[in-house]
Chain A
Amino acid sequence: MESSPAAPDPADARDALAAAEQARRRLTAGLRLPAGFFAAFAVAVAVQLGTAAYGIAAQTVAGLGVVLAGLAFFLGTAALLLHRFRQTNGVTVDGLASQIVLAAGASASLVYLGALAGGIWAAFESAWWLVAVAAAVGGVGCALGARRWWRAYRHDPADRARGASPGLLGALAVAACVGFAALMVLG
């Protein structure tokens, strides 16, 4: 059992806090995103949006297969990006994983939902160029949202490091895949 320490001199307290802050800054300043991180993320979101719009509008088993394939591509890309981040830096940041897998930022969520709704509408109208535009806008919007989050995280890591746990994200991914698979089987 450690005894209660004597209160430090205020100058020592200030030094202790400064040293701790400096250690945290050393860690976060050294964090690097793998090359092409945001571009790969934008493409993955765009593919997922485009396939979802096509598949939902097709309303066939094959269409649901396309939706599932797009979802698998997105999840695979997200898992690969997060794995490379972990390998590169020797840390995990749940907040980053939430941004990538769930498009957790308010603006990114709005852009994603808007692009999905627009894409589905365009697919029902067979306006395929518009589906592509909606998917691209959604992908770029989500990537910009993630980039904005990353900058904010670098500025204030302690407040932004937390997010959905890997277990929860994995469960959500499995639930999404099982849900679409069930739709395929039932359809």
Chain B
Amino acid sequence: MVELDPLIHAPTRLQLLTTLSAVSEAEFATLRTVLEVSDSVLSKQLSALVDAGYVHSRKSLHAGRRTTWVGLTDVGRSALHDYVTALRRMIDAVD
């Protein structure tokens, strides 16, 4: 039986972690646009992933306004890899 990480199971979180795997850090607003979610949804999902140690976040000032930068941690990268591998195995087993 394949074990799936419950922290990544929500579609938005899987998309968020997969998107972050393509960059070192992304601005909150960039992620919101790419994922097509609201501020509150993204904040909530990010908080859960930060608490789990999958994602790190830091505040920064840009043109006088505060921005949040988010990046995947090594733990998060490894968890994402394991999750995607498990999903692919599941698909391959059926195919």
Contact = CB atoms under 8 A, between A and B. Distances in A.
A89 interface: yes
A23 B35 contact: yes
A17 B88 contact: yes
A27 interface: yes
A3 B4 CA distance: 10
Interface residues of B, number: 35
A8 B21 CA distance: 23
Interface in A76-122: 87, 89-95
A148 interface: no
**Majority secondary structure of chain A interface residues (helix, strand, loop or mixed):** helix
A143 to B, nearest CB: 22
Given A7-B1, A14-B91, A162 B24 contact: yes
B87 A24 contact: no
A161 B22 contact: yes
B15 A7 contact: no
Contact of B9 (A5, A19, A162): A5
Interface of A: 2-5, 7-8, 10, 13-14, 16-17, 19-21, 23-24, 26-28, 30, 87, 89-95, 157-158, 161-163
Interface of B: 1-4, 6-7, 9, 11, 14-19, 21-27, 29-30, 34-35, 62, 69, 84, 87-88, 90-91, 93-95
7 contacts: A10-B94, A19-B11, A20-B19, A23-B16, A90-B27, A90-B29, A163-B24
